[in-house]
């Protein structure tokens, strides 16, 4: 691997590359050029070549990329050759949907435990995952858990994240509409669906206005 720091934008594209390569390999595609791959993932081929260059020579000029080799390389880089255990905190509508799905298309990630403060939900099982009382989060040992998914109200997110962190969690996928204030060694990905939808509406309307003004 090349001794270069991989930019965050590149790291965020790697899962998309990996998923697309899985599909290509399963369909019998053995090699692919950056331009052809760019059309599939809808990313400029120059960006793709730049992204892969951080990891050394993954392709050959005039040949392109061996899809099986590239997929296996990304699998290792993304730690997809080992099981990533995840917990879910908050079993509301979104949490229930996530439990029912439970990464069924990804055998390397699994929600192994869920927490909720509603006593009517605790002790039950959804999608094969048992729901534990929220108070148990204070005493459970979650040091072997890769990350926690937060699907709880904004006013509870900070305190619950701190409890989860004390139990051993060092990564969060936060669906709560609030920014968490956690130590620098704790990694947080915020997923605000309202913000994402507002951005989508902006770009759609902006694009429409540009097309109308160019007529």
Tens-place pLDDT, residues 91-131: 999 999 999 988 876 668 899 999 999 999 999 999 999 99
Same domain flag for 58 and 112: no
pTM: 0.74
Supply 177's token pair.
């509409």
Q: Is the pLDDT of residue 1 over 50?
A: no
What confidence tens digit (pLDDT) does each residue in 30-79 have? 999 999 999 999 999 999 999 999 998 788 888 889 999 999 999 998 88
Binding-site annotation, residues for NAD(+)? 90-95
What's the whole-number average pLDDT of the chain? 90
Burial call 85-110: b when 16+ CB within 10 Å, e when fewer = ebbbbbbeeebbebbeebeeeeeebb
* Structural domain boundaries, residue 33: 8-77
Q: In degrees, to the nearest 5, what angle opens at C-alpha 169 toward C-alphas 85 and 147?
A: 40
Binding-site annotation, residues? 90-95
Number of domains in the chain: 2
Same domain flag for 45 and 126: no
Distance, CA of 22 to CA of 67 (rounded, Å): 8
């Amino acid at each position: 691997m090349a001794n270069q720091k991989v930019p965050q934008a590149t790291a965020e594209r790697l899962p998309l590359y990996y998923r697309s390569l899985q599909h290509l390999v399963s369909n019998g595609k053995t090699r692919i050029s950056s331009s052809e791959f760019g059309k599939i993932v809808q990313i400029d081929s120059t960006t793709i070549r730049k992204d892969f260059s951080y990891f050394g020579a993954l392709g050959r000029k005039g040949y392109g990329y061996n899809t099986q080799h590239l997929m296996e390389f990304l699998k290792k880089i993304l730690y997809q050759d080992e099981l990533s255990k995840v917990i879910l905190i908050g079993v509301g509508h979104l949490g229930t949907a996530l439990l029912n799905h439970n990464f069924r298309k990804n055998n390397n990630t699994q929600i192994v435990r869920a927490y909720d403060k509603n006593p009517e939900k605790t002790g039950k099982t959804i999608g094969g995952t048992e729901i534990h009382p929220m108070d148990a989060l204070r005493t459970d040992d979650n040091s072997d858990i890769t990350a926690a998914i937060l699907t709880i109200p904004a006013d509870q997110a900070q305190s619950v994240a701190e409890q989860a962190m004390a139990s051993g969690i060092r990564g969060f996928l936060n669906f709560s509409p609030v920014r968490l204030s956690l130590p620098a060694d704790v990694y947080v990905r915020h997923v605000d669906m309202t913000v994402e939808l507002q951005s989508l509406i902006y770009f759609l309307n902006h694009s429409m206005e540009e097309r109308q003004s160019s007529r």
